[in-house]
């Protein structure tokens, strides 16, 4: 018989929200249990490409046990990660801060941008946000499309949560004084949505 454990908090999901909540509670000394639907992935567990959906999509009806789940609701499609890390496994690493017009849609009476920007900045620090240096054929095609639509000024590099050191070279954590995990330089392979095999 397995002994029962007692926890102060149970967190459902280990994505960005759940993992941060669990970390902050544990830092305060609480006993925290994190529950996750999927498994713990190693870098080599991710598919090398996206041509075989059985390797990366989760759909129990078809015995598909990947790390990428698609939900369809009325008027909405939702992509979610299934595995330790949740959505961080499949979010393509884009770190976008909303434009001013986004904050204007919030209830009036408060300066929402002023209140929320410090949290965006903290997240950018914690996730190691940097500008993507890629200038590929796909980037050029998007820039040309923007030019043709008369909105070329809207094209810019995307900030990402990726270590852009020397490709495939592992280095000690460059973000938290060596206390975080080792990092491996991005190869610009483009498999961010199907799971990073590089690290």
Question: For the chain, which residues make up each domain, given as ranges?
Answer: 92-198
- 190 or 11, greater pLDDT: 11
**Per-residue pLDDT, 2:** 56
Backbone angles phi, psi at 142, to 5 degrees: -65, -40
The confidence band for 3, taking pLDDT boundaries of 50, 70 and 90, is: low
User: Is this prediction's pTM over 0.85?
Assistant: no
Averaged pLDDT for residues 172-193: 86
Mean pLDDT of the chain: 89
- Continuous segment of H or E residues that includes residue 130: strand 130-131
The single-letter DSSP state of residue 185 is: B
Query: Would you state the structure tokens that stand for residue 91, as one six-digit string?
Result: 């979010």
The confidence band for 33, taking pLDDT boundaries of 50, 70 and 90, is: very high
What DSSP string runs through 41-71? Answer: PPGGGS-SSSS-HHHHBEEGGGTEE-SEEEE
Q: What sign does the CA torsion over 130, 131, 135, 140 have?
A: positive
Query: Would you state the structure tokens that stand for residue 94, as one six-digit string?
Result: 């884009």
- Continuous segment of H or E residues that includes residue 59: strand 58-59
pLDDT tens digit string along 74-129? 999 888 889 999 988 888 888 988 888 888 888 888 999 999 999 999 999 888 89
**If DSSP codes are grouped into helix, strand and coil, which group holds residue 34?**
strand
DSSP bridge partners of 78: 71
pLDDT tens digit string along 126-157? 888 999 887 888 889 999 999 999 999 988 88
- Measuring CA to CA, how many Å separate 151 from each of 67, 98, 154, 163? 36, 18, 6, 30
């Amino acid at each position: 018989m397995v002994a029962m454990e007692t926890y102060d908090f149970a967190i459902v999901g280990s994505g960005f929200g759940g993992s941060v909540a669990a970390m902050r509670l544990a830092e305060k000394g609480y006993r925290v249990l994190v529950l996750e639907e999927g498994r713990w992935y190693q870098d080599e567990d991710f598919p090398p490409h996206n041509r075989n959906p059985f390797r990366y999509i989760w759909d129990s009806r078809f015995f598909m046990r990947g790390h990428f789940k698609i939900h369809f609701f009325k008027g909405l499609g939702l992509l979610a990660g299934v595995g330790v890390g949740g959505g961080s496994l499949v979010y393509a690493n884009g770190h976008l801060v909303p434009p001013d017009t986004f904050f204007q849609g919030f209830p009036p009476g408060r300066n929402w941008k002023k209140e929320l920007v410090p949290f965006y900045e903290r997240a950018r620090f914690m996730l190691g946000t940097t500008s993507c240096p890629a200038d590929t054929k796909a980037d050029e095609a998007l820039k040309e499309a923007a030019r043709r639509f008369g909105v070329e000024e809207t094209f810019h590099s995307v900030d990402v949560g990726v270590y852009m050191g020397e490709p495939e070279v592992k280095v000690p954590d460059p973000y938290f004084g060596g206390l975080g995990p080792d990092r491996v330089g991005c190869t610009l392979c483009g498999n961010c949505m199907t799971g990073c095999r590089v690290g």
